[in-house]
Amino acid sequence: MKLYGYWRSSAAYRVRIALALKGMAYESIPVHLVKDGGQQHQASYQELNPAELVPTLVDNELTLNQSLAIVEYLDAVQPEPALVPAEPKKVALVRAMALDIACDIHPLNNLRVLQYLTGPLQLTEQQKTAWIHHWLNTGFQALEQRLQQSAGRCCFGDAVSLADICLVPQVYNALRFGLDMTPYPTIQAIYQHCNSLAAFAQAAPEAQADAQ
Amino acid sequence: MKLYGYWRSSAAYRVRIALALKGMAYESIPVHLVKDGGQQHQASYQELNPAELVPTLVDNELTLNQSLAIVEYLDAVQPEPALVPAEPKKVALVRAMALDIACDIHPLNNLRVLQYLTGPLQLTEQQKTAWIHHWLNTGFQALEQRLQQSAGRCCFGDAVSLADICLVPQVYNALRFGLDMTPYPTIQAIYQHCNSLAAFAQAAPEAQADAQ
């Protein structure tokens, strides 16, 4: 398997966690999202992933984008440890929480959106930070409330799931942008627990060959 | 089952299509996203869905948010017609295309984001429309290219899948905001085909009791 990613991309980070948890070997191919105007926009990468986003997983004849689809694919071809439960109600709740992050928080604060805010819209650094914090706080408030129903050491009990795989990169991103995490003790505790596990350490941005 | 939704919400529209395709009966409970400062922010709804977004499905003791999680849940409890294929590679590609819309297009143009643009950021109507069209065009360009590999009368061959369930509400939204669809002939053909099916007609915003 080949994983096209970038050390600091939340979406690529999710896939690295899943690969590490499952102990699956892969070749990491860095796509620098800033250098050369963004290598994700080069024709060779665009052919692989028309959306010009990372990550992309190549597994023989399969070329697959979208981190959540990739993680569930890995879960199907290498079922241990399971990252989503088998029972319909349980898997639905895990997926919903993963999507709370992947649809309702992350897309608003990723690189291309921030570039539009400071480019065409000419927002100041202060306005940009307010935007980032607004969507992080909106999402984390809801998540902190939901976790009261489901959390143990992880988002759902004590076993790592797709929800934790989304949560950890999102918190990493929030800390990078200086968000005050004090209002979110449950989220913080899960973040700390997950990061004490070897697979999460191995998948961390700073542990990647292309980290700067 | 009870579905809390709003006639013009793309995410609620997706769930309505799935319910209609499967012929599942449900009680529709409108949550008006604009009236009274937005009924999704009222305490009774916030308790049901801490994110204060629609849709929410209630099925006995299960309270479930996130349209994609809901559609896959419906597919598990009522398997016919199947909305995702069984084979791991095939389901991964269907999910990826659904997420191309649900993560990379829709979250940037939904109501709360547009309210932030014209509220705190004081964008003009012209700037707001440019923002909407920018993200629609970015997403549709990639999608039109991907569909060359997979499309028949639907996104994947001739059978309706989760990808079509996401595509149709997104095109409806694009037309509402006056996007020129000429560059996307494959997307347009799929939109027209799907809308010729009874389930899509039944789920359309204008067919809902709360339509204005």
Provide CATH 1.20.1050.10 ranges for chain B.
88-199
Q: What is the pLDDT of residue A186?
A: 98
CATH number for the region B2-80 comes to 3.40.30.10
Query: Using one digit for the tens of pLDDT, what is the confidence trace for A143-155?
Result: 999 999 999 999 9
Q: What is the pLDDT of residue A177?
A: 97
Burial pattern B195-211, b for ≥16 Cβ within 10 A else e, equals eebebbeebbbeebeee
How much is the CA Rg of chain B, to the nearest whole Å? 17
Q: What is the pLDDT of residue B188?
A: 98
Closest chain A residue by Cα to residue B49: A142
Count of CB atoms situated within 10 Å of the CB of A131: 22
CA distance B69 to A97: 9
Q: What is the pLDDT of residue B18?
A: 98
Q: What is the pLDDT of residue B178?
A: 98
Identify the three-state secondary structure at position B157.
strand
Which run of H or of E encompasses B62?
A: strand B62-65
Length, in residues, of chain A: 212
- Whether residues B123 and A120 touch (CB distance < 8 A) is answered with no
Mean pLDDT of all residues belonging to chain A:
97
Model confidence at A11, pLDDT cuts 50, 70, 90, reads very high
Query: Using one digit for the tens of pLDDT, what is the confidence trace for A32-89?
Result: 999 999 999 999 999 999 999 999 999 999 999 999 999 999 999 999 999 999 999 9
Mean pLDDT of all residues belonging to chain B:
97
Start-to-end C-alpha separation, chain B: 24
Mutate to test the interface with B, among A10, A14, A77, A89 (most CBs of B within 10 A): A89
Q: Using CA of residue B157, residue B160, residue B163, residue B169, what is the dihedral sign? A: positive
CA distance A105 to A135: 6
Nearest to A181 by CA among A142, A146, A133: A133
- Whether residues B64 and A103 touch (CB distance < 8 A) is answered with no
- Select from B66, B131, B141 the Cβ nearest to the Cβ of A95: B66
CATH number for A88-199 (one of 1.20.1050.10, 2.60.260.20, 3.40.720.10, 1.10.10.10): it is: 1.20.1050.10
Task: Sort B88 into a burial class: Cβ within 10 Å, 0-12 / 13-18 / 19+.
Answer: middle
Pairing of strands B56-59, A2-5: unpaired
B chain contacts of residue A115, beta-carbon cutoff 8 Å: none
Mutate to test the interface with A, among B56, B63, B65, B166 (most CBs of A within 10 A): B65
Q: What is the pLDDT of residue B149?
A: 96
Residues with Cβ within 8 Å of residue A108, at least 6 apart in sequence: A131, A135, B107, B108, B113
Q: What is the pLDDT of residue A59?
A: 98
Average pLDDT over residues A163-174: 98
Query: Using one digit for the tens of pLDDT, what is the confidence trace for B13-68?
Result: 999 999 999 999 999 999 999 999 999 999 999 999 999 999 999 999 999 999 99
- Whether residues B72 and A92 touch (CB distance < 8 A) is answered with yes
Mutate to test the interface with B, among A103, A104, A105, A156 (most CBs of B within 10 A): A103
CA distance A131 to B142: 26
- Select from B66, B95, B139 the Cβ nearest to the Cβ of A96: B66
- Select from A53, A88, A121 the Cβ nearest to the Cβ of B77: A88
Q: Is the ipTM of this complex over 0.90?
A: yes
For chain B, list residues with pLDDT below 70: none
Q: What is the pLDDT of residue A100?
A: 98
Q: What is the pLDDT of residue B62?
A: 98
Provide CATH 3.40.30.10 ranges for chain A.
2-80
Closest chain A residue by Cα to residue B66: A96
Q: What is the pLDDT of residue A199?
A: 98
Query: Using one digit for the tens of pLDDT, what is the confidence trace for A108-127?
Result: 999 999 999 999 999 999 99
CA distance A72 to A15: 10
Q: Are B98 and B68 in contact (CB under 8 A)?
A: yes
- Whether residues B108 and A106 touch (CB distance < 8 A) is answered with no
Q: Is the peptide bond before B55 cis (omega within 30 degrees of 0)?
A: yes
CA distance A211 to A26: 18
- Whether residues A88 and B100 touch (CB distance < 8 A) is answered with no
